[in-house]
Amino acid sequence: MFKVETMASSVFSRISLAAAVAVMGLAVSVGLAAAELLPHRAIYSLSLGETQEPGQYLGVGGAVQTTLEKTCDAWITAEQVNMDVTTQSGDNLKQKLAYTGWESLDGKRYRFAARSVTNGDDKRYKGVAHVDSKKPGEAVYSQPNKITMKLPPGTQFYWGLTAWLIKQARAGESRAEAVVFDGTDEEGPQRAVAFIIPLVKQAAKNKLGPLLDRPGWTMRIAFYPLDSRAAEPQYEVQAVVLDNGVTPKVKMVFSSFTAIQTLEKIEALTSPKC
C-alpha cells in the first residue's frame, strides 16, 4: 500500500498500509518479527471501484508490484505502482511511483526513498528516521530539501504499522489508533485509525495457493493530519490483511472514486539463516 498523490481533485495517499505516536496513550513499540510476516513478492492489478460522480471516471488500470525481503537485521521493501485513470472528458491521468525502504527488525530505524511522477510532475523524497517508545524520534530528509522533523514516541514505520495492526487484531481489538510515518511526502507523521473485522472462513480454496489460506481481517484505515480534529480523513484504505502480512485485496478510497488493488500472483521468498 503506497501513497498516491493528487490526481484530478484528490487521490489516495497511502498506508501503505501503510506510518506515526503510539496509540493514543499506549506508547507501544512492536518489533516486526513479532507478527511473523512472510517475505514475498506479489503482483496486483488495478481496477475502478465505486464512483461518487457516475460517468466522470470511466476506468482505472495499471499494476502494482511489491517485494518484502528479510535480512538478519531488517526488512527491505520495494514497491512500484503504475496507475492510469480515464475520465469522461478524455483525460488520461497517469501516475508512476517507486518506493524502497529499509526497516530494522525492532521497528526503531528506517531508511526510505520514494519517487512519484504524475503526468510529468516528478517528485523525489529520501531520508532516514529513528523512533523510540518513550521519547520523541526524528526524521531527516536529504531530498527534495534538507528537512528535520520530530516523530512522536511510538511512531510506526511502513511494515511496523502492518505488524502492529496484526497484533491488535489477534488480541481481539476492533478499533486501534497509531501514529505513522513513511517519508513518501513532506507532510510528516499522520494519525491512523483502524477498524478491524475478522474474515469469515471460506469453504473453497483460493486460486493462488496456500500462502493465502490463512486467517485474517478486513481493516478500514483512515488517515488524518497529526493535529487534526476533522471528522473527514485525508484518505482511507480498506484492506484484507492476513496474519502473515499478505494483503490479497486493497480498496483505495479517493474523494471521487475508489481504486481496487487485486492480488494476481504471489511467491514466497526465503528467510536468511542468521
What is d(CA 215, CA 170) in angstroms, rounded to the nearest whole number?
A: 10
**Residue 202, pLDDT score:** 61
What is d(CA 166, CA 172) in angstroms, rounded to the nearest whole number?
A: 10
Residue 14 near residue 185 (C-beta atoms within 8 A): no
What is d(CA 61, CA 50) in angstroms, rounded to the nearest whole number?
A: 14
**Residue 232, pLDDT score:** 82
State how far the alpha carbon of 88 is from the alpha carbons of 47, 52, 92, in Å: 16, 14, 9
Sign of the CA dihedral running 15, 17, 21, 26: positive
Does pLDDT of 106 surpass 60?
yes
Does pLDDT of 130 surpass 50?
yes
Q: DSSP E strands: which ranges in 26-131?
A: 40-51, 57-70, 74-87, 92-104, 109-118, 121-130
Place of cell 525502504: 101
CA-closest candidate to residue 127, choices 106, 164, 105, 99: 99
**Residue 54, pLDDT score:** 63
What is d(CA 26, CA 31) in angstroms, rounded to the nearest whole number?
A: 15
**What number is the average pLDDT over the span 139-160?**
91
Does pLDDT of 6 surpass 70?
no
pLDDT digits 0-9 by tens, 206-226: 788 888 988 899 999 988 888
**What number is the average pLDDT over the span 44-72?**
85
What is d(CA 178, CA 218) in angstroms, rounded to the nearest whole number?
A: 17
pLDDT digits 0-9 by tens, 181-208: 988 888 889 998 999 999 877 655 678 8
The grid cell for 58 is: 470511466
| 41-50, 135-144, 203-212, 263-272: least confident range | 203-212
pLDDT digits 0-9 by tens, 12-50: 233 322 222 222 222 233 344 444 788 999 999 999 888
- Residue 209 one-letter amino acid: G
Place of cell 502494482: 64
Indicate the pTM of the whole model. 0.81
**What number is the average pLDDT over the span 232-242?**
86
What is d(CA 260, CA 253) in angstroms, rounded to the nearest whole number?
A: 9
Does pLDDT of 5 surpass 90?
no
Spell out a b/e string for 2-30, using b for 16 or more CB atoms within 10 Å of the CB, else e. Answer: bbbbebbeebbbbbbbbbbbbbeeeeebb
Place of cell 531520508: 127
Does pLDDT of 256 surpass 80?
no
Does pLDDT of 233 surpass 60?
yes
**Residue 138, pLDDT score:** 96
Does pLDDT of 163 surpass 90?
no
What is d(CA 76, CA 148) in angstroms, rounded to the nearest whole number?
A: 23
Percentage of the chain modeled with pLDDT above 70: 84
